[in-house]
Amino acid sequence: MASRVLIIAFHFPPAMGYSGTQRALKFARYLPEHNWQPAVLTVHPRAYERSGGDQLSELPDEMPIVRAFGLDAMRHLSLKGRYFRFTAMPDRWTSWWWGAVPAGLKLIKQFKPDLIWATYPIATSHRIAHTLSGLTGLPWVADFRDGQWTETFPSDPVLRKEFVGLEAKHVASASRVVVTTDGIRQMYQQRYPSLEPQRFEVIANGYDEENFSQLQTQVVPPKERPLHLVHSGIVYPGEEERDPITLMQVLATLRDAGEIGPESLKITFRGCGMEAYVREQIAQYQLQSMVSVAPTMPYAEALQEMASVDGLLLLQGAHFSHLIPAKLFEYLRMGKPLLALADPAGNAACLMRAAGLSSITPQHDLDQIASVLKQFMADLRKGSWPKPDPTVVRRYERSSLTGDLAKLLEQVKAEG
């Protein structure tokens, strides 16, 4: 008889443009292959800023999916763009707690799960799991796709205090804490020295092989058109963030020197989440003919775009050095040329080097960015870029990673 797990995830289809959607979705999809039957507690789609696509078709119709009441304080509870702080603590979707707790209790009564797995971001997801665990006695697993706070995040001292307190409470009450990189695990083990180190486990993000089977891939770029690079996903302004400003500066310098131009290079920022900011940078450096901003698209279409362009771009500031962006695993599986502006000592750069890739440059070294970019473009034209080691890439296939999660759930279930 299969065991049962209640998955609590804010980001779940039809949410579009959030990497966390794939983590929760794929675990729900592949857990039945490992003798675990999931039910899902998520939020009503009105809470999402972006929704679409058909990824729910990946799940069986009989899988219970409950969508509880929840509002976005910024979009639903604001007046002229302003809203009360208490409606957005610890996040803009705190109202989801009020809908999810009674819905979760009803679902637990009907579904009878053995335990709960909840994923952060967002923080309200862990609040719901903590509450349901306390009310029912079910053990729960806290999944942290990102660390909840650092020395500089959140910058708001009131919110930071809230995050510090919530994280400590949730880490202490969860039977296991799952993180996505060894860097986050080390950070948490140091942050909570009174807890046994084995409470913290790493289950990385990854890719689903089935999503890549029908993609049409471009191999060698034609010489008569500009190379096309894509950055897929969120950017963040800030010196140590995922900020494209230094790339813009390098592009402008190389253009002014006559070394590149719109006839040789085009870059698209797809679903960057900070469209106005990126457009300001494009305008400031007069790069409209080379750099563009494009909206979020359904997941399958985003993958096809990655497969169709000439190269992929990764931004990862030092503030995120302990993280590996979820898109990197899709980039690696794609096997396309990959240029990373990232902390060379960070977890993302370490994974790239382990896979045999070397086009990595610090995000703020303008001279090195220029040098690496020119070499990268030359390699693309010649078709001589290094391919990622498939034995490394295969470690991050979703069905295999779900097997790791199933083993962890079995341990928690056995411990009661």
- Could you tell me the two tokens for 342? 């990232």
pLDDT at 185: 97
pLDDT at 177: 98
User: What is the reported pLDDT for 73?
Assistant: 85
Q: Give 241 or 179, the one with higher predicted confidence.
A: 179
Q: How far is CA 157 from its chain centroid? A: 25
Residue 246 pLDDT > 80: yes
Quickly name the fold that domain 3-206+397-415 has: Rossmann fold (3.40.50)
Summary count for the chain: helices (H), strands (E): 14, 13
The whole-angstrom separation of Cα 203 and Cα 149 is 20
What is the pLDDT, as a whole number, of residue 238? Answer: 79
CATH class of the 211-394 domain in this structure: alpha beta
3-206+397-415 and 211-394 share one fold: yes
The domain spans of the chain are 3-206+397-415, 211-394
Phi-psi region of 112 (alpha: psi -120 to 50; beta: other; left: phi over 0): left
Report the chain's mean pLDDT, rounded to a whole number: 94
pLDDT of residue 151: 79
Nearest-5° angle of CA 59, CA 398, CA 20?
A: 75
pLDDT digits (tens, 9 = 90+) for 114-128: 999 999 999 999 999
Number of residues that make up the chain: 416
Residue 82 CB neighbours (<10 A): 8
